[in-house]
Structure 1
């Protein structure tokens, strides 16, 4: 069992305030099938409340119902003790103090921070068309950012901000929009719902974001944190509620709660930790992929050898070069120098099609934008690598492709195992398993994985680890670039530490621990 959560430096016992949100017996059905089967949930002022569960457990449906995207079929919702008539509509709960920050943050790259804040302010104020008092809005935006200790210039465009700055701006914007809505002059505690706010953040930036969440809690506001990262949940949350199969299976106080207890509550079964085989992998002396002097925008002069039968992890702080490495190896980005060879053969000017021709595949970090076509079906997404070889007599053999996709979905426990389902309808973990299965079906020699378990639940994470280890046991070489230290501890045979675009350290075998990785990463960054 893992150790219970320890109080953080400076923590004081927290006294819960009055209930801000009370949900009783909330039911939502799709085509007669309940996605929410009578959910109960209470959230108090001055607490951070974790909302957890495996992909498909009902978290997204619950959030979308509260946001007015879906109409509940049954149940009761009260804000500050007052029942809210159903259906809520798009602004039903927002006008009562609820605000939402979704994964995509809802920011426009081309607009400035000031323009986002002013749009909310003017939009809520309503009335006739009038000139925007830009200087007054600029002062207001600067005051809001300063109040929450967000060091961002209001005139900065969103595309000039770092990922953590974007997330913080989105949170301050959400809080500010609710303060505008308060009409009686009395500030009531707000409820902010954060849906996977750290999923695209480097590990080093999570603490920065959580300081802002702590500030909201200290102000008496309530926060619902939707997350798959259990360590983050145990770090920041006061209580957690776990959903399984559309029902609340438990609400727990976080102090004293262990990680393993939380995993068992999420999955409903006791599962041992996933670790590397004790006798290690059978790494071949053969080199299947090699680079000499590989350089890009961040990566500088990389010499790398990958061997069949091993998982090589790559990690480092944000900006160290790990985000660029898999793209350089696969030809998504053009190298500025150096060479790449596969199976002893130089690949001139790597491109995705050329690397795929050499049996090298890439699972990118941004599966929605780069790894899939969300508006197509599961079958169409999984068939893309096989289309060229699936024509007979000028006709595409959809039957064979459909059967292959069906078999892969069943083997990888993709739910639903329906090739005809829209890819966008699958949960994040099932999308990732389907994409991984697509590439496993090509029998690759080299797999390049960028943040392969980003935004997936603990059950899907274990499945992905199992599939990667099976591929390695079959002779594949795997390079996994990630900022998830636990993933590397469980999966990697050796880990390369990046700093300033170069490999500054290597840790192998049983020496791979979270403490060792953290020490090496920060030592490399300081060198």
Structure 2
């Protein structure tokens, strides 16, 4: 049942009618409810956060509003006008609603001007000539209004990550603008995890743009798993749980614990990682000496059995590149890799897997799994040769193994025949971890392992990794998520321009200590 909290007075929306109101929205897939009558209202001049565990219904709601799914029942009202699903291929865009998804939907080779023009006139049917002079003027005025400084003729691949995100936001708002009675109507912008791929030091620039949208009387629905981010930038927060509205809260006065309780239905229980039992009396499971890549420069590193080593730094510092260098996805320019005292002469992914070194990449949808295959088919890939006799594969044995893994890892839904792409981000990641943990690896290389994963799934993933480490595995975790490192890492190496700046151990690993180490050079 929805909490009756009203919006904060500071947003200027307490006395305003909602721009967007969702009432009693239901949606099921093959008889399984995804939305069980959710309620939500977003008012002009506010940034409204939407939180919830993976599978809570957030993505389903967005896809209904975007016209990707049709609701089974319920009402959606924009500017006080009730609208009926289905909303068609453009969803509610004609009503002044814009969408910016994680991947931003931008073509690298296209210019800023071309993207803006496409969204403004490209949806019209039939042949239509674009007045590029007028469009250039419109786009420049739009960018100037929101104080976004980019060259309209620059291609997307020439922009920084935050500039791309800001262009996507302005494009979404500018393409839906409508004038009613001589006045600009407030727009509704839906942002789905917009900061996942942004360097942390650039996130503030995007938030400043949200402030300008708020000041213009627009409404922003911000979907995120980052509780600190939600508490920093929003006016109100709604939480979905199990397809229902768990409650709505004022951001002012709310705490992280309050939100976690709404998300999980219980108070947060911190997972103690325990003292590491590092086997440094034996040769390291994996070492690098003088390793050099595109960003990494002359790096020495030892990974011992029984420890989680975190690698972090600013974007471009090299921490993102290191797992791929150690795994063989990228060929090092110089240096050597040694495994348990033996030099590695064949540094390729297939050879690494054969030696018990595995990589779980940050892009789980593009590189970690195959979205169009079932959970069972994704989980079977490392075991096909073991389960094959000639040209026949023992699918019954593979299905039993996949079912056991789904049950053990609490994958939802626990059905091996479910399509992998239909799972939430957290459940996809648990399935991928389970797949590789079943191979009993010696070394696991992780790149942003909980990116876009809710707090409940994060806890389960941490437990899985710590349990494997306790059995003697070594883990390298490359991430910009400081909270993840505090909870999981035994030591953290901070990189600066490809070189080790400092190393932090044990109880000294805190968010403040990590931030200070990462930004020390920049601040000075």
With normalisation by structure 1, the TM-score equals 0.94
Query: Is structure 2 residue 338 aligned with structure 1 residue 341?
Result: yes
Secondary structure at 1:409 match in 2: helix
Of residues 56-65 and 382-391 in structure 1, the stretch that sits farther from structure 2 once superposed is: 382-391
Secondary structure at 1:339 match in 2: strand
Q: Name the structure 1 match of 2:57.
A: 58
Deviations 1:411-469 (A, max 9, x none): 11011111111110111000000001111011111000000000011110000100110
| Separation in structure 2 between the aligned mates of residue 185 and residue 487 of structure 1, nearest angstrom | 50
| Separation in structure 1 between the aligned mates of residue 182 and residue 12 of structure 2, nearest angstrom | 25
Q: Name the structure 2 match of 1:399.
A: 396
Secondary structure at 1:517 match in 2: helix
RMSD: 1.7
Q: Name the structure 2 match of 1:144.
A: 142
Give the one of 295, 299, 308 matched to 2:296: 299
Secondary structure at 1:298 match in 2: coil
Q: Name the structure 2 match of 1:117.
A: 116
Q: Does the 8 A contact of 1:28 with 1:37 survive in 2?
A: yes
Q: Report deviation, 1:525.
A: 4.4
Deviations 1:276-304 (A, max 9, x none): 21x34344432110101100111000000
| Separation in structure 2 between the aligned mates of residue 162 and residue 420 of structure 1, nearest angstrom | 40
Q: Report deviation, 1:130.
A: 4.6
Secondary structure at 1:281 match in 2: coil
Secondary structure at 1:376 match in 2: coil
Q: Name the structure 2 match of 1:4.
A: none
Query: Is structure 2 residue 100 aligned with structure 1 residue 77?
Result: no
Q: 1:496 to 1:208 in 2, by over 3 A?
A: same
Q: Does the 8 A contact of 2:17 with 2:80 survive in 1?
A: no
The aligned runs of 1:129-278 (5 Å cut-off) are 129-179=127-177, 181-182=178-179, 184-277=181-274
Secondary structure at 2:252 match in 1: coil
Q: Report deviation, 1:314.
A: 0.4
Q: Does the 8 A contact of 1:25 with 1:76 survive in 2?
A: yes
Deviations 1:185-226 (A, max 9, x none): 321111101111111222222112111111111111100011
| Separation in structure 2 between the aligned mates of residue 275 and residue 199 of structure 1, nearest angstrom | 26
Q: Report deviation, 1:526.
A: 5.8
Q: Report deviation, 1:271.
A: 3.1
Q: Does the 8 A contact of 2:278 with 2:304 survive in 1?
A: no
Q: 1:152 to 1:436 in 2, by over 3 A?
A: same
Q: Does the 8 A contact of 1:497 with 1:524 survive in 2?
A: no
Q: 1:471 to 1:92 in 2, by over 3 A?
A: closer
Secondary structure at 1:327 match in 2: helix
Q: Report deviation, 1:163.
A: 2.0
Secondary structure at 1:496 match in 2: strand
Q: Report deviation, 1:335.
A: 0.5
| Separation in structure 2 between the aligned mates of residue 157 and residue 481 of structure 1, nearest angstrom | 30
| Separation in structure 1 between the aligned mates of residue 523 and residue 470 of structure 2, nearest angstrom | 37
Deviations 1:225-264 (A, max 9, x none): 1111111011111111111111111011111111011111
Q: Report deviation, 1:382.
A: 0.8
| Separation in structure 2 between the aligned mates of residue 386 and residue 128 of structure 1, nearest angstrom | 52
| Separation in structure 1 between the aligned mates of residue 377 and residue 398 of structure 2, nearest angstrom | 9
Secondary structure at 2:352 match in 1: helix
Secondary structure at 1:107 match in 2: coil
Q: Report deviation, 1:140.
A: 2.3
| Separation in structure 2 between the aligned mates of residue 128 and residue 464 of structure 1, nearest angstrom | 51
Q: 1:128 to 1:415 in 2, by over 3 A?
A: closer
| Separation in structure 2 between the aligned mates of residue 453 and residue 183 of structure 1, nearest angstrom | 44
Q: Name the structure 2 match of 1:509.
A: 506
| Separation in structure 2 between the aligned mates of residue 151 and residue 471 of structure 1, nearest angstrom | 48
Q: Name the structure 2 match of 1:99.
A: 98
Of residues 249-258 and 151-160 in structure 1, the stretch that sits farther from structure 2 once superposed is: 151-160
Q: 1:107 to 1:442 in 2, by over 3 A?
A: same
| Separation in structure 2 between the aligned mates of residue 83 and residue 154 of structure 1, nearest angstrom | 37
Q: 1:121 to 1:223 in 2, by over 3 A?
A: same
- Unaligned runs of 5+ residues in structure 1 are 1-10
Q: Name the structure 1 match of 2:4.
A: none
Q: Does the 8 A contact of 2:412 with 2:423 survive in 1?
A: yes
| Separation in structure 2 between the aligned mates of residue 411 and residue 524 of structure 1, nearest angstrom | 45
Q: Report deviation, 1:65.
A: 1.0
Of residues 127-136 and 164-173 in structure 1, the stretch that sits farther from structure 2 once superposed is: 127-136
Q: Report deviation, 1:92.
A: 5.0
Deviations 1:158-195 (A, max 9, x none): 1222222211111000011012x446532111110111
| Separation in structure 1 between the aligned mates of residue 356 and residue 474 of structure 2, nearest angstrom | 11
Query: Is structure 2 residue 448 aligned with structure 1 residue 462?
Result: no
Q: Report deviation, 1:122.
A: 2.5
| Separation in structure 2 between the aligned mates of residue 342 and residue 184 of structure 1, nearest angstrom | 71
Of residues 471-480 and 91-100 in structure 1, the stretch that sits farther from structure 2 once superposed is: 91-100
| Separation in structure 1 between the aligned mates of residue 465 and residue 363 of structure 2, nearest angstrom | 19
| Separation in structure 2 between the aligned mates of residue 338 and residue 526 of structure 1, nearest angstrom | 32
Q: Does the 8 A contact of 2:186 with 2:219 survive in 1?
A: yes
Give the one of 408, 413, 432 matched to 1:411: 408
Give the one of 361, 374, 378 matched to 2:371: 374
| Separation in structure 1 between the aligned mates of residue 298 and residue 197 of structure 2, nearest angstrom | 27
